[in-house]
Amino acid sequence: MRLRVGVVLFLLAAYVGIGCRSPLTPNIDRNQAPETWITAAPSDTITIKDDHGRPIGFPFPGTIPVRFHMYWAGSDKDGAVAGFFWAVVETTTEALPGQPFAPQLPGPKPADYHFTNKTDTTFIFTVAEDQPDRQHAFFIYSVDNLGKPDPTPARFIFNSQDRFPPIPIIEECRCVGTIYLLNPGGGVTPKADTVYVTDVDNRVTAVPRDTCPAGSAIRFKWHGEVQVPQTVVTGYRYKLDEPRFIEVGPEVTEATYNDGVPPSDTIPPATGRKIFVLRVVDQAGGSRDSTRRFQLNYSPDTWWSGPDRGSSSLFSKPNGERYTTLVGGRLTGPITGSLMSQDSTFILPAVRSSRRSFFEIWKDTVWARQEGDTVHLNSWIVLQGGGYDRDSRYGVKVNPILRSKDEDDNYKFPGFIEQDGPVLVPGPANGSPIGFRSIVTMSLTPFQQPSRTALTGLYPIYDPNDVFNLPRIAGYHPVFLAGRAFAVMQAEDSDGDRDRRVSDGRDLVIKVENGTATPAEQALRPLVMTSRSTSRRTS
């Protein structure tokens, strides 16, 4: 009986307990996500669209300056906005190599987002260093007080343009070298030469106004001026002969070349026309270039140094022509007062006398001719010159092997030793070019059509191992055609620069004789030697 009463009481207690339980609450998130919008930028391109469903501004984004103050806002219907997450992504405005189109803007990665509780800030957007603008996308979304984010971030796509890139100021471009002045009594006097380069002309065909001596120590000094407020210069780029820019920080404001201790990242400049480029880069990556243009190495000067027609080594004809003869194809002796003597290797080009004359070799006779004379067909004309070079070393092309000796202390090349002299000895600068090139242009009989020879190789070159070996002091040109000849000689220095003032002697002389030459061209007329060639009798 007691057992039954206990069971009934237990069941009654269980029923009462079950009847008193509260129902389960459903798991529903009633927190509404916040909203975000941009209040000071081009229209929000994800939430505001045109009648065709395309973002406002399609297909071209807006353009803003690189330094731009942006504002944004957010709201939460059932709470408060605790902060914002923002991100900026960018791409280039030009297609990559091998691609037909510019790359698309990438989407932001989680690591690109930054948190802020502000509702505005000033951004400095970046541009490409070699381009004035760059495409960007700005993303921002708000987060409420319960940590819930806006699932539809606000964004806009735009071009940031650096309308006012920094200005590079080259304070100084200075060359310090040595030039050699000719003395009236012979020899040269060294003189320190300082040149301040100011030429900024970047035209490839323009001749630089400033010339620096070869081997000069070159110093550049600069600074940069930003044009966008509250930005700074972040670095400089510069190059002279380097294939790529040398990148340095904002604290580096000078560079030197050939000062005896060249930096490991610079290339000693070769001679020729030089353009120094300085680029300054600001905080946004915007850049601007400044240049200095100059000629490194003075070109040599040239003059004619033909035979002295009053030389006692020459005979006279009744008509005044001067000549000597050949025996067995060789001179019976040197012709004094000319380079057909020991003078050819003992008198340097810089101290040779200026004479507008030349030799003609015809059969067994060597004629001493002058400007305007007539020579024989099938003869050879021999052109001799002098010259002056104020800065290059005298690196005449003579192989030292020619002065070597054998085991018995005998010279291996006695023929060279017989004619050896100061002209054939390389050394420091002495005011002389190392050799010459020559060219002859003709106006052919009877219609005056032009005929031009090729420019000769450099002479002298004394090197039996060189395919360009040309062991002679003068220029030799055959005369196969009848007409008027126009000869030009060009001195060359050891840096490979030539006297290029006259490229076509025929054209220059015709201009002078027609009265169409400029004063500068008229001044160059003495650099051209003229003669006529024809079949003639010699009595």
Residues 500-531 have pLDDT tens digits of 999 899 999 999 999 999 999 999 999 999 99
Residue 67: C-alpha distances to residues 281, 357, 470 (Å): 15, 73, 67
CB 211 within 8 A of CB 190: no
CA–CA separation, 388 and 391 (whole Å): 9
- CA-CA-CA-CA torsion sign (535, 536, 538, 539): positive
pLDDT at 2: 56
Strand partners, 131: none
pLDDT digits (tens, 9 = 90+) for 177-187: 999 988 877 67
> Given pLDDT bands bounded at 50, 70 and 90, which one contains residue 87?
very high
Task: Report the percentage of the chain scoring pLDDT > 90.
Answer: 63
Task: Report the percentage of the chain scoring pLDDT > 70.
Answer: 88
pLDDT digits (tens, 9 = 90+) for 384-434: 999 999 999 999 999 999 999 988 899 999 999 999 999 999 998 899 999
User: Hey, what are 241's tokens?
Assistant: 């002969």
CA–CA separation, 39 and 79 (whole Å): 21
Residue in the structure block whose two tokens are 């067994």? 364
Taking the CA of residue 124 as centre, how many other CA atoms within 13 Å lie in the half-sphere pointing to its CB?
11
Query: What number does CATH give the domain 167-296?
Result: 2.60.40.10
Q: Is the peptide bond before 208 cis (omega within 30 degrees of 0)?
A: no
> Given pLDDT bands bounded at 50, 70 and 90, which one contains residue 60?
very low
pLDDT at 506: 95
pLDDT digits (tens, 9 = 90+) for 468-485: 999 999 999 999 999 999
pLDDT at 151: 92
User: Hey, what are 164's tokens?
Assistant: 């006012």
Q: Which of 128, 51, 43 is nearest to 90 (CA)?
A: 128
Structure letter (DSSP) for residue 285? S
> Given pLDDT bands bounded at 50, 70 and 90, which one contains residue 228?
confident
pLDDT at 231: 85
CA–CA separation, 341 and 333 (whole Å): 8
CB 34 within 8 A of CB 76: yes
Please check the confidence at residue 335 and state whether its pLDDT lies above 90.
yes
pLDDT at 433: 96
How are the residues of the chain apportioned to helix, strand and coil, as percentages rounded to the nearest 5?
10, 40, 50
Strand partners, 161: 65, 133
CA–CA separation, 522 and 127 (whole Å): 54
Over residues 256-281, mean pLDDT: 82
> Given pLDDT bands bounded at 50, 70 and 90, which one contains residue 536?
low
CB 497 within 8 A of CB 457: no
3-state SS, 108-145, equals: CCHHHCEEECCCEEEEECCCCCCCCEEEEEEEEEEEEC
pLDDT digits (tens, 9 = 90+) for 19-51: 555 566 667 778 899 999 887 655 444 444 556
Please check the confidence at residue 155 and state whether its pLDDT lies above 90.
no
| DSSP strands (E only) in 424-519 | 435-444, 449-452, 475-479, 483-492
Instruction: Provide CATH 2.60.40.10 ranges for the chain.
Output: 35-161, 167-296
35-161: CATH topology is: Immunoglobulin-like (2.60.40)
Please check the confidence at residue 318 and state whether its pLDDT lies above 60.
yes
CA–CA separation, 382 and 358 (whole Å): 6
| DSSP strands (E only) in 253-348 | 254-257, 272-282, 287-296, 301-304, 315-316, 322-327, 330-331
pLDDT at 41: 54
Strand partners, 476: 382
β-strands 114-116, 379-383 pairing: unpaired
Element (H or E) spanning 224, and its range? strand 217-225
Average pLDDT, the chain: 87
Would the pTM of this model clear 0.85, i.e. be above it? no
Q: How many helices (H) and strands (E) does the chain have?
A: 5, 31
CB 279 within 8 A of CB 245: yes
Residue 376: C-alpha distances to residues 340, 365, 483, 529 (Å): 21, 11, 11, 16
CB 88 within 8 A of CB 123: yes
447 φ/ψ sector (left φ>0, alpha ψ -120 to 50, else beta):
alpha
Please check the confidence at residue 289 and state whether its pLDDT lies above 70.
yes
Element (H or E) spanning 521, and its range? helix 519-523
